[in-house]
């Protein structure tokens, strides 16, 4: 029987999130609290260097707010789909690895579950976010190999 009482599943809200959430639920103890976290990266960090000052485009702040609302709804939908308790979703804004580690610390999570596509090469083994989470946290991390439709 698992000793993990608090499990944090980091999800990107794609259909592949189902694999991560299912593994998080399976890895925890029978009465474990499973939490979901999604981190939205600021648009200006994605387009860093394109425009040195100010928003990347007019209306960027409004677009980011609409996106934030839609992503929060999708996160809540995933929680409902897997029967997770109300209040067990955490939407953050910033650097994914940093925010995942922060939420895990705040919750006192025993385990972080994160997806990886298992790209080839030592540096790409876990992907940048999974690798950053793993190397910056003092708790167990389960990297779930995401299987696509064509994978065996």
Give the per-residue pLDDT at 137.
86
| Choice between 56 and 88, residue whose per-residue pLDDT is larger | 88
Q: What percent of the chain has pLDDT over 90?
A: 61
pTM over 0.85: no
DSSP symbol at 32: P
Q: Give the model's confidence band at 122: pLDDT under 50 very low, under 70 low, under 90 confident, else very high.
A: very low
Please determine, for residue 151, whether its predicted confidence score (pLDDT) is greater than 90: no
Mean pLDDT rounded to a whole number for the chain: 84
Give the per-residue pLDDT at 46.
53
Domains in the chain and their CATH numbers? 6-145 (3.40.50.620)
Residue with tokens 């950053």: 132
């Amino acid at each position: 029987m698992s000793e993990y009482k608090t499990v944090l599943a980091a999800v990107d809200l794609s259909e592949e999130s189902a694999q991560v959430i299912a593994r998080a639920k399976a890895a925890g103890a029978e009465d474990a609290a499973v939490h979901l976290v999604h981190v939205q990266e600021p648009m200006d960090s994605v387009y860093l260097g394109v425009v040195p000052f100010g928003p990347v485009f007019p209306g960027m702040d409004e677009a980011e707010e609409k996106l934030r609302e839609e992503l929060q709804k999708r996160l809540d939908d995933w929680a409902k789909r897997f029967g997770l308790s109300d209040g067990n979703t955490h939407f953050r804004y910033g650097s994914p690895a940093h925010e995942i580690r922060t939420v895990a610390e705040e919750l006192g999570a025993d385990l972080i579950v994160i997806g990886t596509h298992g790209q080839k090469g030592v540096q790409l083994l876990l992907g940048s976010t999974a690798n950053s989470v793993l190397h910056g946290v003092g708790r167990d991390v389960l990297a779930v190999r995401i299987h696509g439709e064509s994978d065996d």
